[in-house]
Amino acid sequence: MDSVIVYQKPTSGGNDSAKIVPSVNKFSRLPERSPVDIQFENIVYTASLGFRKGKKKILHELHGRFLPSQLIAIMGPSGAGKSTLLDILSGYRITGVDGSVLVNGQERNLEAFRRMSCYITQDDRLHPLLTVQENMSVAADLKLGVHVHEQEKNDIIDEILTTLGLAEHKKTLTGRLSGGQRKRLSIALELINNPLVLFLDEPTTGLDSLSCSQCVSLLQILAHQGRTIVCTIHQPSASLFQMFDHVYVLGQGRCLYQGATHNIIPYLERMELPCPQYHNPADYVIELACGEHGQEKIDKMVVCTQNGNSLTWFKSSFNASDPKRAVEPMVRMEDESRSKSKEVKHGLQETSQWNQIKVLLRRGYIKAKRDQTMTHLRLLVNFFVAVMLGLLFYGGGNEGSRTLDNYNLLFACLIHNMMTPMMITILTFPTEMMILQKEHFNRWYSLKSYFISITIVDIPVTVVSCFLFSILVYLISGQPSDINRFNMFFSISLLIVYVAMSFGLMIGAIFDVVNGTFLGPTLSVPLMMFAGYGVNLRDMPKYLKWGTYISYLRYGLEGYVSAIYGYGRDVMDCVVLYCHYKNPGKFLREIAMTGDQYWNDLIALLIIFILFRSLSYFLLRWKIKAVR
């Protein structure tokens, strides 16, 4: 039966959270599949503390059962293991985990389970440069597939946004939404494919009390429609606490209470730990879990709940030994997942790789258009640096007395083309990585589709900014008026930019912004040393020669020199009495370059680019698995 959802559109501007007033509004998209009963037994989580530092047991042989159509709170003091338990139940954390998770009475099939569940992280990992509508439409295109008609997708989006009180913010950029609105959008995005199970890590953190109760009452409604909704929550107010149907209290990685919310007071009385009058039971139970009333009280509670195994305090209507309920839905669930896998052959994702790439390219294009750093600033920086370098070395390109200056200019161009794209990638990718982890785990797209799309989407801005830089520097500094030489100069610049970006991607995929910003330039210094600029390639000590083969800057510099001075360039002008290097051949001999290595350098750069790109893909794949 369809249930009723309760949000009314605000009537005028101002703080909308104060105006989302319950009203009658039908949320027709009820779960079409059977409800999900989650049971877990003997869950142990052991975290590795690092090389030779041993291990730490975080969760201790936990048991528990979460029923469908209930809003469940995992509560406990900070560090009790709430997020860890949620990660394990959602299937996000798989390393270091022992014990079993049962879905409708049968061992969980992680793939089938992921198809019907979603995980909403504590920090709202959203694309700030997309509007609410754009975010929703990308999610719909990725999660509903191409067989769903556009109009149907829009109806679904409208319904969800209206339900969650976001309809009037459709055109607002996500970055400008309030904390509560962002939280609701995070939920809205995952509701698009109508999951049966929702896991939310601290959905109320950072929200004011009204937004908190709105968020929880929304979850309550969604749960009562047949979904199983599990949230971690820190220390709810008394009124918020009452909104949950079921509570699971954790302390020191063990279960102190599991049962209906209204049974917690009788439970505490039975334990001879009565909740003081006028005291919020949630506060009191957290005090107990913290050990404020003594360690023996914690131990006593763990024994009484059998570490989560006891079902005594579940609501009275619950019948644990209903075999029909335990098996039948699971059979249907398996059937659904089988029939689904017959019609969709895209791995865990709902749509084909081609569609994923298409949608991600569309999203990438919108982001690039609005991005101040990656697009506008990048174009501006290239323009200004090119003009400044051009003016500094004005007209020196064909002047025999300034050959060494011109060589310095080529090196400066090399460093610019390396540093700017590398640093931008190192600084921006870790934020993208957080969103990628969430969206990839929630099966929006495969890593391959994501990687292909970020490689393609950046091409126009990269090519335009590199071309702008190259042509300005080339013309202002008076390099040879030869279109072939310019093309050679531009091609080397573009390859250096791409190699540097891939290098930045490798660092950004593994390290955070702080470590990445340190490592990027630090690792680039030896590469500069081996470029053959300070110490030329002939004078490089034998035992360090290998460095010149692996430094992509060496191929860049050699390629530039070949483009400008190689291939039989004529003697240059000389406006003073004596120009030592007016003969390009003499200059090339002096810097130990032959000037005819352009194609070798180009191929070497291409190979390094392909190598770095492939490596960054594998590092990304490894990182995504390693965090789990």
Ligand X SMILES: Nc1ncnc2c1ncn2[C@@H]1O[C@H](COP(=O)(O)OP(=O)(O)OP(=O)(O)O)[C@@H](O)[C@H]1O
Minimum Å distance from CB 473 to ligand X?
A: 49
Identify which of 120, 14, 102 has the alpha carbon closest to the alpha carbon of residue 64: 102
Beta-carbon contacts of 570 under 8 Å, excluding residues fewer than 6 positions away, are: 584
Minimum Å distance from CB 99 to ligand X?
A: 16
Could you give the CA distance from residue 174 to residue 158 in angstroms, rounded to a whole number? 17
Tell me which DSSP letter residue 507 carries.
H
Identify which of 114, 95, 131 has the alpha carbon closest to the alpha carbon of residue 444: 114
Which window, 75-83, 262-270, 375-383, 579-587, contacts ligand X (CB under 6 A)? 75-83
Contact of 92 with 264, CB cutoff 8 Å: no
- Looking at the chain, the number of H-run helices and the number of E-run strands are 22, 12
Strand partners, 102: 39, 107
Contact of 86 with 62, CB cutoff 8 Å: no
Could you say whether residue 80 binds ligand X (CB under 6 A)?
yes
Could you say whether residue 623 binds ligand X (CB under 6 A)?
no
Site string for ligand X, 51-70 (x = CB under 6 A): -----x-x------------
Residue 205 vs 408, nearer CB to ligand X: 205
Binding residue for ligand X, selected from 3, 25, 83, 242, defined by CB under 6 A? 83
Minimum Å distance from CB 211 to ligand X?
A: 19
Minimum Å distance from CB 202 to ligand X?
A: 7
Site string for ligand X, 26-55 (x = CB under 6 A): ---------------------x-x------
Contact of 183 with 124, CB cutoff 8 Å: yes
Minimum Å distance from CB 45 to ligand X?
A: 8
Binding residue for ligand X, selected from 25, 41, 79, 423, defined by CB under 6 A? 79
Strand order in the sheet with 70-75: 117-120, 197-200, 228-233, 70-75, 246-251, 254-260
Site for ligand X in 236-275 (CB under 6 A): none
Neighbours of 222 (CB within 10 A): 23
Binding residue for ligand X, selected from 70, 84, 307, 442, defined by CB under 6 A? 84
Q: Which amino acid is at 563?
A: A
Could you say whether residue 234 binds ligand X (CB under 6 A)?
yes
Residue 19 vs 234, nearer CB to ligand X: 234
Question: Coil, strand, or helix at residue 119?
Answer: strand
Question: Coil, strand, or helix at residue 535?
Answer: coil
Binding residue for ligand X, selected from 64, 68, 81, 400, defined by CB under 6 A? 81
Could you give the CA distance from residue 242 to residue 260 in angstroms, rounded to a whole number? 10
Which window, 76-84, 430-438, 456-464, 533-541, contacts ligand X (CB under 6 A)? 76-84
Residue 84 vs 477, nearer CB to ligand X: 84
Site string for ligand X, 446-465 (x = CB under 6 A): --------------------
Residue 81 vs 329, nearer CB to ligand X: 81
Could you say whether residue 204 binds ligand X (CB under 6 A)?
no
Residue 83 vs 309, nearer CB to ligand X: 83
Residue 82 vs 443, nearer CB to ligand X: 82
Could you give the CA distance from residue 426 to residue 272 in angstroms, rounded to a whole number? 57
Residue 203 vs 595, nearer CB to ligand X: 203
Could you give the CA distance from residue 86 to residue 83 in angstroms, rounded to a whole number? 5
Residue 56 vs 332, nearer CB to ligand X: 56
Minimum Å distance from CB 404 to ligand X?
A: 55
Which window, 61-69, 80-88, 176-184, 322-330, contacts ligand X (CB under 6 A)? 80-88
Question: Coil, strand, or helix at residue 139?
Answer: helix
φ/ψ of 230, rounded to 5, equals -120, 125
Instruction: Say what the alpha-carbon torsion angle 464, 451, 128, 381 is, to the nearest 10 degrees.
Output: -30
Strand order in the sheet with 97-103: 55-66, 38-48, 97-103, 106-107
Could you say whether residue 76 binds ligand X (CB under 6 A)?
yes
Which window, 72-80, 237-245, 372-380, 567-575, contacts ligand X (CB under 6 A)? 72-80
Minimum Å distance from CB 174 to ligand X?
A: 24
Identify which of 440, 431, 451 has the alpha carbon closest to the alpha carbon of residue 125: 431
Q: Which residues bind ligand X (CB under 6 A)?
A: 47, 49, 56, 58, 76, 78-84, 232, 234
